[in-house]
Amino acid sequence: MSVPLYTATATPTGDGRAGGRAVTDDGLLDVTLAPPVPMGGLGGATDPEQLLAAGWSSCFHSALKLVASQRKVSLSTPPWPPRSR
């Protein structure tokens, strides 16, 4: 079994995704949570799906850049335009 290189810790409080707060142990992330309007919420705060999307996409972007550099392919940053709302 391998030893973890890094472990992130975040603690939710309140009603969690339905109206709470999430804070990392180092305090660098401190967000108010609320369900998005399309899911019946009032919006106005971050929803957990946004946090998941941000984390996953940043990891994917780093992997894409690594493979591109190994294959000597030039990428602009970001390699695709952000979607407008």
* Token pair in block for residue 85: 């709302």
CB-based contacts of 60: which residues, under 8 Å, 6+ apart? none
Which sign, positive or negative, has the C-alpha torsion 30, 65, 57, 77?
A: positive
Residue 71 exposure: Cα atoms within 13 Å on the Cβ side: 9
Query: pTM of the entire structure?
Result: 0.70
What would the pLDDT profile of 7-30 be if each residue is shown by its tens digit? Answer: 999 999 999 888 899 999 999 999
Q: What is the DSSP string of 28-54?
A: S-EEEE---GGGTS--SSB-HHHHHHH
What would the pLDDT profile of 45-82 be if each residue is shown by its tens digit? Answer: 999 889 999 999 999 989 988 999 999 888 766 656 66
End-to-end CA distance of the chain: 45
